[in-house]
Amino acid sequence: MGKYRLITLGLAAVMFASTSAVSEAADAPRGPAYRPPPPPIPFYNWTGFYAGAHLGVGWSDDDGGGNSSGFLGGGQVGFNYQINQWVLGVEADIAGTTIKDSASATVVGPGAVLTGRADASLDWVSTLAPRLGYAFDRWLVYGKFGGAWAHASATASAAINGVVVGSASVDQTVSGWVLGVGTEYALRDNWTAKIEYNMMDFGSDSPFADNKFHVFKAGLNYRFGGPGGLF
């Protein structure tokens, strides 16, 4: 019996030691079963409504080499929708201008000098156009094509020997089309900055000598919504 008791006690000791080892192994901290994937690279998201302001210069030119130029300033609103790197959108803007044009003529006759003068000012220009762009993360390059409108006011007068004998004034709103290209950069959070060139064509309704009007402008936009990210 003593021999069998020793064998039994030995087996019990081995089982107890094995159980303790298994318990300690279960309690030991374990490393991850797999390596977690790297975090995604953040890309700027151009989707959303936005509004902003711009300043620039504008000029009209005629075939004879003359031109009328001045400053302009105004605001814009729009919406972008990004699909992968393509950005579809629409934008409306309006700007007041300091652009003016004038013409005068003098006719000398027997005992009299007849003079005439006309002055025209481009009061504001406005466009509404779809945009198509391609995004390089925070850079967006785009083009647009749509409708354009302009409002001009003009006065004309005639005088004989310096005495005004007649005058007239007119206000006119004309329509045409706009073609533009530009680039925009996301600065921080929801702010972006842009530069843009537009050519507007008002056909025979242009208030100036030439039917084409050119604009170069720079502006800031604020996009409503969360910070940029994949969409």
The answer to whether 148 and 176 have CB atoms below 8 angstroms apart is yes
Q: How many angstroms separate the CA atoms of 91 and 109, rounded?
A: 55
Give the span between the Cα atoms of 153 and 174, in whole angstroms: 11
Q: Round to whole Å and give the CA distance between 147 and 149.
A: 7
- The secondary structure of residue 3, as a DSSP letter, is H
Residue type, 122: L
Using alpha carbons, select from 37, 26, 129 the residue that is nearest to residue 78. Answer: 129
| Percentage, residues of the chain above pLDDT 90 | 46
pLDDT of residue 189: 78
Of the pLDDT bands very low, low, confident and very high (cuts 50, 70, 90), residue 187 is very high
- Average pLDDT in the 88-98 region? 96
Distance CA 73, CA 223 (A): 20
Task: Output DSSP code: residue 203.
Answer: G
Tell me the mean pLDDT in the region 208-221: 85
Q: How far apart are CA 41 and CA 43, in angstroms?
A: 6
Read off the tokens for 62.
């005629």
Spatial distance between the Cα atoms of 104 and 109, rounded to a whole number of angstroms: 17
Mention every residue, 6+ apart, whose C-beta is less than 8 A from residue 40: 230
Higher pLDDT among residues 208 and 53, named by residue: 53
Q: What is the pLDDT of residue 170?
A: 76
Per residue in 8-60, pLDDT (tens digit) is 544 445 454 555 544 554 555 565 566 666 555 557 899 999 999 999 999 98
Domains defined for the chain, CATH in brackets: 48-64+80-97+124-152+175-223 (2.40.160.20)
Helices (H) and strands (E) in the chain, counts: 1, 9
Give the type of residue at 118: A
Q: What is d(CA 58, CA 202) in angstroms, rounded to the nearest whole number?
A: 14
**What does each C-alpha distance from 30 to 21, 27, 35 come to in angstroms?**
16, 9, 13
pLDDT at 63: 52
Residue 154, burial from CB neighbour count under 10 angstroms (0-12, 13-18, 19+): middle
The closest of 165, 154, 57, 152 to 103, measured between CA atoms, is 154
pTM of the model: 0.72
pLDDT in tens, 115-170: 777 777 889 999 999 999 999 999 999 999 999 999 988 787 777 767 676 777 77
Calculate the average pLDDT of the chain.
80
**Measured distance CA(21)–CA(37) in Å, rounded:** 34
